[in-house]
């Protein structure tokens, strides 16, 4: 029978070996599918003493946490943050200073819109040893699961990962730098402000007929992919109401999406129009 893990208060009360500090691993859990975990992430989860996890970590991954480990949910939902980022960072510091071994489990990759950098700096300033374990970020995971190449030598020579949610809400971006049609744009956390995103991109020169993919619950069994034109993005979101986590992929590479892929259910409001270069390739 597995021994019951002490309460959080007892874990923070003191160190059984005074002067000995614990370690924190910032671990990327990937975009959702359990078999997209790295081997290192899997090993750390299965051996964890304490796991502090986010809302975007898939349930199948959480099921890997040992029964005797303490699991702490610090997840945020849009419009509701049960624990502020500063409090999460301080919790990691307190646990480590109490001599505990902590796995900080984050959806995607800790260093790509995962606030892993903020937590790392806080831990370093407190003198806590911190290791980073990268994960597959949502952009690459969702694109692969939908059969959408983020780059293609005839369609997109670069890709940008962009946050669709600013520090105070509405995105504040260098729109001029996002106008190049040969550049794929991937917006994280872009659903709430999708109307502003589409309006600004079009006003700064992006073709209104540029295809957009909305990938909901990417890489999971219940993934859904919606395809629309840039000028129809807000209407598509209102009609089909995709929920977080969802990713927006903007660019001509979306024309290569195949709705017959077994991984995704698709709804398209885009008139098929493959480029000559794509057909030639």
**pLDDT tens string 197-227:** 999 999 999 999 999 999 999 999 999 999 9
Say what the pLDDT of residue 93 is.
97
Query: Which two structure tokens, joined as six digits, stand for 253?
Result: 């590479």
CATH topology of domain 138-280: 3.30.950
Say what the pLDDT of residue 2 is.
34
Query: Would residue 10 show up in a list of annotated catalytic residues for this protein?
Result: no
Query: Which two structure tokens, joined as six digits, stand for 133?
Result: 């374990």
d(CA 274, CA 133): 39
The strand pairing partners of 224, in sequence order, are 216, 265
> Any idea where the domains of the chain sit in the sequence?
8-133, 138-280
Say what the pLDDT of residue 277 is.
35
Say what the pLDDT of residue 133 is.
98
User: Annotated catalytic residue: which of 60, 76, 154, 231?
Assistant: 76
Reference 25, options 129, 135, 137, 136; nearest CA is 129
Confidence check: pLDDT of 186 > 60: yes
Cis peptide preceding 69, ω within 30 of 0? no
Query: Would residue 154 show up in a list of annotated catalytic residues for this protein?
Result: no
User: Annotated catalytic residue: which of 4, 9, 35, 54?
Assistant: 54
* pLDDT bucket at 121, cuts 50 / 70 / 90: very high
Element (H, E) at 77: strand 76-77
Read off the pTM. Answer: 0.85
d(CA 186, CA 146): 14
- Give the CATH class of 8-133: alpha beta
């Amino acid at each position: 029978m597995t021994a019951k893990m002490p309460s959080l208060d007892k874990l923070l009360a003191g160190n059984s070996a005074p002067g000995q500090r614990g370690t924190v691993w910032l671990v990327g859990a990937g975009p959702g599918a359990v078999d997209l975990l790295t081997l290192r992430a899997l090993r750390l989860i299965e051996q964890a003493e304490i796991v502090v996890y986010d809302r975007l970590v898939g349930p199948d991954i959480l099921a890997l946490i040992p029964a005797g480990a303490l699991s702490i949910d610090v997840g945020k939902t849009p419009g509701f943050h049960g624990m502020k980022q500063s409090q999460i960072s301080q919790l990691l510091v307190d646990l480590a200073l109490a001599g505990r071994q902590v796995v900080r489990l984050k959806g995607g990759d800790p260093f790509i819109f995962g606030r892993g950098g903020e937590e790392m700096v806080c831990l370093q300033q407190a003198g806590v040893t911190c290791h980073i374990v990268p994960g597959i970020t949502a952009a690459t995971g969702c694109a692969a699961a939908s059969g959408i190449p983020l780059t293609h030598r005839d369609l997109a020579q670069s890709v940008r990962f962009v946050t669709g949610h600013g520090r105070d809400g509405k995105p504040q971006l260098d729109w001029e730098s996002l106008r190049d049609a040969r550049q794929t744009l991937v917006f994280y956390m872009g659903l709430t402000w999708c109307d502003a995103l589409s309006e600004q991109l079009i006003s700064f020169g992006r073709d209104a007929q540029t295809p957009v993919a909305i990938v909901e619950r990417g890489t999971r069994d219940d993934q859904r992919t919606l395809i629309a034109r840039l000028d129809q993005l807000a209407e598509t979101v209102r009609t089909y109401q995709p929920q977080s986590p969802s990713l927006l992929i903007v660019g001509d590479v979306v024309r290569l999406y195949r709705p017959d892929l077994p991984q995704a259910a698709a709804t398209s409001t885009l008139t098929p129009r493959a480029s000559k270069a794509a057909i030639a390739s």
